[in-house]
Copies of this chain bind each other. A is one copy, B any other.
Amino acid sequence: MLRRYDGNPIVRREDVQPSRKDFRVYGVFNCGAVKVAGEYLLLMRVAERPAAEPGWLSIPVLNEKCDGVEVRRLRTGAPGVDASDPRVVKLADGQLLLTSISHLRLARSRDGRRFTVDEKPALFPATPYERYGVEDPRITLLDGRYWINYSAISEKGVVTALASTADWRAFERHGVMFAPTDKDVCIFPEKIGGLYVCRHRPWAEGLGRAAVWTAFSPDLIHWGGHRHTLSPRPGTWDEERVGCGPPPVKTEHGWLEIYHGANRKGRYCLGAMLAHLKDPTHVLARSIMPVLEPQADYETHGVYAPCVFCNGMVAEDDGTLRIYYGAADTVVACAETMVGEVIESLF
């Protein structure tokens, strides 16, 4: 039902200049998406790492002053250093370090297909909660301002932070929306019952699963009224974890959402769900089978694969949905469908 663009991937690593000369772009993927005055904007996650040095692991971290990235070096194979996952280094005391640091970068297009990538980052790590990077933004237009929530990573954990912009030049930060471990947040494009609404994916340790919850806010800063909304389904493609994607699209049948799910093997697919317009915690329908699974080569080979992950979508006036997604944590791709097709598939 989703038709991949012929030109996929639409943004590749080689299309992105690293933020400094001694860094290499490791992946450009999960992007927020929005259409502003006819222009398509993608706010992409760009993961960078220092150029490889044989015998050393290089760990890029925002420095204590939060005004620049420093590189920590560890001997490869040093005792207690586990680098078996190329994205992560695990130390003997259980501490985790990341081998790349992500920032958010804009790409622009007039047709939604051919994008030009900005030379400089839009949002670069700059707070103590962002020392290991900023990731996976979602964009919601509310009250004339673009609200950007994103994962902020540090030794304190994975939190969701909030920023906003009116002009896509100046960005204002609004602090931490949700404490660790909480990600995959999307804010609804309008208030419901007088409150702002979002989905989030808190991590449930021991009891509970990696499920989607809904929360409410009078001001976008303070959130409460948490309600459990969507669970993984044992034995299916989304048995291990689920998390929401881009902000929901309002349709006459309900709030239409694209979410991601992973199975026990860590294979990420996309599904769709439809929620009640007035009570968004009430899920009316949900994909039995994925609407998109990793099948193309750029989805099944890369930094982390097989994986498709969506946090940006543009709904056109004619009912076309442009679904921008990260493939294999390596590139940005796009697939198209119609709102009506997705809803039909749910019933």
Q: Does A96 contact B (CB under 8 A)?
A: yes
Segment touching B, from A75-83, A110-118, A153-161: A153-161
Digitize A193-225: 1 where CB-to-B-CB distance is under 8 Å, 0 elsewhere. 000000010111111110101011111011111
Q: Is the CB of A204 within 8 A of B157?
A: yes
Copies per assembly = 2
Nearest B-chain residue to A200, judged by Cβ: B179
- Cα-based distance from A295 to B64 in the complex (angstroms): 41
Given contacts A93-B234, A176-B227, A234-B93, A206 and B181 within 8 Å (CB-CB): yes
Question: Could you say which of B177, B200, B207 contacts A158, with CB atoms under 8 Å apart?
Answer: B207
Nearest B-chain residue to A180, judged by Cβ: B204
- Which residues of chain A (160-184) have a CB below 8 Å from chain B? 175-182
- Cα-based distance from A205 to B182 in the complex (angstroms): 9
Q: Does A304 contact B (CB under 8 A)?
A: no
Q: Does A132 contact B (CB under 8 A)?
A: yes
- Cα-based distance from A221 to B219 in the complex (angstroms): 12
Q: Is the CB of A158 within 8 A of B204?
A: yes
- Cα-based distance from A223 to B215 in the complex (angstroms): 10
Give A contacts to B, CB under 8 Å.
93, 96, 128-129, 132, 153-159, 175-182, 200, 202-209, 211, 213, 215-219, 221-228, 234
9 nearest CB pairs, A to B? A157-B208, A157-B204, A222-B222, A180-B204, A222-B224, A179-B202, A176-B226, A181-B205, A179-B226
